[in-house]
Amino acid sequence: MATQYEVVIGIEVHAQLSTKTKLFCGCSTAFGSKPNTNVCPVCLGMPGALPVLNEDSVELAIRSGLAMNCDIQEMSVFARKNYFYPDLPKGYQISQFELPICLGGSLAITVPNADGSYEKTIGITRIHMEEDAGKLIHQGADAIAGSDSSLADLNRACTPLIEIVSEPDIRSAAEARAYMETLAMIVKYSGVCDANMEKGNLRADANVSLRPVGQEEFGTRTETKNLNSFRSLERAILYEIQRQTHVLESGGTIRQQTLNYDDSTGKTSVLRDKEDAHDYRYFPDPDLKPLMVTQEQISAIRDTLPELPRAKEARYVDYGLNDQEIKVLLADLDLNAYFENCVKAVPNAESIKEMAKWLVGDFSALVNAAGGSFDTPVIKQDAFLELIVLLKDGTLSGKMAKGILEKMYQTGKTPKALLESSGGGQISDTSELDGIVAQILSANMDVVAKVQGGKTKSADFLMGQVMKETRGRAKPDLVKQLIMDQIAAL
Amino acid sequence: MSISESDLDRVLKLSHLHIPDSEKADYVAQLDKVLGHMDNINQLNLDDLEPSAWANATATPARKDVVVKAELDLETNAPEWVDHSFRVPSILGKET
């Protein structure tokens, strides 16, 4: 029987900290600036320039550690990781090696499977702080191979990153994706990182190895670098599992290598033979003394940690929201803040469900269609809540509310103001509707005959006529009831 | 302290240096002498001292997260300046 293999995965995530300036100098971290405009002697690696640590980056690194249940170290040390490459003009990257700022955390994940989902906890080995490198654009070819020169943009050099290193606890591509998605949400909600993968401020390296089922010892691993979407991460791992399985089953051995993943072909290729730590000749950076934090500082940061996505999710389930609503409400930080403010204003379960439904549905559709955001919403919270009240008390039908919401979005007016200018809300007064129904029936006796003949579906036409007459304001259930009652009495 | 030829080979690999095999024994002997000095240093009693990379291991100072714009004349100083970027020679050698 062929050997069965178990996959072992560990993930390293680089997250850019949400600071205004770089890790060791006052240059801006703004994305999309003209090349080499956010640079100074420190990040250009000019001789004699000395790094000075950004205090906000330390706070954010500690926040990330607390959000992932790590032990925050009172003393950590910046080290030089030496390598020679034009994206790093100093000749070394300032990172943390032997003494990182956070050790030993964990992350609880929910992994979808054929039976629904299962829960798992992934260990976090460490979180350390480091500076990013610059960006190279290779000239004369699509890639580095074959290019005749490269253009270096050092705007990104020295931007603050944390590297979050997981334990090799992950056992499938689906678990890797769930881990990465959970981690992205946590760094986003704790204010550590914008987690915008398109802008590259969250990227993952996947260490993948196989071992025969039952074997304790790990197999040789490969590291696939710079996976910048959840999909790429999952696909690259699936490919690598398949590739390694094929190599092992053909009697070959896996080489410890660093790989690049090409999303267009869905394949990995070799970047270089993997280095070990000693290749980088790490040593403590003599330009930076140890980073010291006190228990008081750690406690103060802990006190400002917001409610994290998993706790929010549990609360939303208690509200009775469905999976899709919860997913959408958690995916966008601004939408989530809008929803939470509404919940604070009207903490009533029925209203919350209604708010969630409209926020996730029609309101989001309007915002998305207009390319807007919930950060600066056209429809203010009070106006939206007024709409929910009008829906709940029956003044508005769902259909009317949809129309009103659109007009609110176009004009910025409140629902009450719009209702007044359009002649009022939903008609739910029988006496007011009775006459209109009678009038429509007498004008459409042929249709009435069909209904009497058993074609009850034809009543929909009559209902449509009543709605038209009342400009959509009649309460649909009531109209239907009146139509059937009046036909029965004919 | 004694170093072997395989230690030397590892150092040569890391530093991208090449030494003819015939000269390796000399280098091993010389390095052994240099590193042998560590044996002298090891005689010091350091029981009460924590290892440190700094003469004075107080906490590193930190700065506020405030943007400071640097004024630099990069174009004049860069060896090659193209599209507001530093142009560097090809990174990978040509395949032979």
Partners of residue B64 in chain A, C-beta under 8 Å: 55-56
Q: Name chain A contacts of B60, Cβ cutoff 8 Å.
A: 53, 78, 288-292
Q: How far B71 CA sits from the closest chain A CA (Å)?
A: 8
Selecting from B14, B57, B63 the residue whose C-beta is nearest the C-beta of A289 gives B57
Q: What is the pLDDT of residues B31-57, one digit of tens each?
A: 999 988 988 888 999 888 877 778 776
Query: What are residue A445's phi and psi, to 5 degrees?
Result: -65, -30
Low-confidence ranges of chain A (pLDDT < 70): 1, 274-275, 423-426
**Residue A85 touches partner B, C-beta closer than 8 Å:** yes
- Flag whether residue A271 sits within 8 Å of chain B, measured between CB atoms: no
State how far the alpha carbon of A356 is from the alpha carbons of A335, A384, A408, in Å. 10, 11, 18
Please give the C-alpha separations between residue A42 and each of A27, A155, A427, in angstroms, as whole numbers.
9, 12, 70
Q: How far off is chain B from A179, nearest CA to CA, in Å?
A: 31
Ranges of residues in chain B with a pLDDT under 50 are 96
The answer to whether the beta carbons of residues B24 and B62 sit under 8 Å apart is no
- Selecting from A153, A286, A289 the residue whose C-beta is nearest the C-beta of B85 gives A153
Question: In this predicted structure, what is the pLDDT of residue A72?
Answer: 98
- Distance from the Cα of B67 to chain A's closest Cα (Å) equals 5
Strand, coil or helix: what is B44?
A: coil
Q: What is the per-residue pLDDT for A172?
A: 97
pLDDT per position as a tens digit, A423-447: 666 677 777 788 888 888 888 989 8
pLDDT at B96: 47
How far does the CA of residue B19 sit from the closest CA of chain A (Å)?
A: 20
**Whether the Cβ atoms of residue A42 and residue A158 lie closer than 8 Å to each other:** yes
- Could you tell me which residues come within 8 angstroms of residue A340 by beta carbon, excluding any fewer than 6 positions away? none
Question: How far B5 CA lies from chain A's nearest CA (Å)?
Answer: 18
Residue B92 lies in a domain: no
> Closest to A150 (Cβ–Cβ): which among B61, B67, B91?
B91
- Contact list in A for residue B68 (CB cut-off 8 A) is 21, 25-27, 40
Q: What is the ipTM of this complex?
A: 0.79
Hey, are the CB atoms on A148 and B91 less than 8 Å from each other?
no
Cβ proximity of A146 and A5 under 8 Å: no
Rounded Cα distance, A341 and A356, in Å: 12
SS3 A12: strand
Contacts of A278 in chain B (CB under 8 A): 14
Residues of CATH 1.10.10.410 domain(s) within chain A? 430-489
pLDDT of residue A348: 85
- Our CA-based measurement puts residue A422 at a distance from the nearest CA of chain B, in whole angstroms, of 52
Chain A contact set for B55 (CB, 8 A):
none
Nearest to A258, CA basis, from A281, A238, A240: A240
Inter-chain CB proximity B66 and A20 less than 8 Å: yes
**What single letter denotes the amino acid at residue A293?**
V
Question: Quick one: which of A126, A12, A17 has its CA closest to A72?
Answer: A126
Domain-located, residue B29: yes
In the β-sheet with A135-139, what is the strand arrangement from edge to edge?
A135-139, A149-153, B85-89, B81-82
Provide the CA A99 distance to its chain's centre, in angstroms: 30
The predicted structure's pLDDT at residue B55: 77
Taking contacts as CB-CB distances below 8 angstroms, the residues of chain A near B83 are 35, 151
Identify the CATH class of A430-489: mainly alpha
CB contact under 8 A, A147 and B91: yes
Q: What angle do CA A262, A266, A271 make, to 5 degrees?
A: 35
Residues of B with CB below 8 A from A149's CB? 87-90
Nearest to B59 among A34, A150, A292 (CB): A292
Place of tokens 């004049």: B76
Beta bridge partners of A165: A12, A126
Sign of CA dihedral B52, B55, B59, B65: negative
What is the per-residue pLDDT for A462?
87
Beta-strand ranges (E) seen in A101-253 are: 102-113, 116-131, 135-139, 149-153, 160-166, 202-212, 222-227
CB contact under 8 A, A149 and B88: yes
- Residue to substitute from B12, B85, B94, interface A, most A β-carbons within 10 A: B85
- Nearest by CB to A152, which of B62, B72, B88? B88
| Number of domains comprising chain B | 1
Interface of chain B toward chain A, CB-CB under 8 angstroms:
14, 53-54, 56-70, 72, 74, 82-92
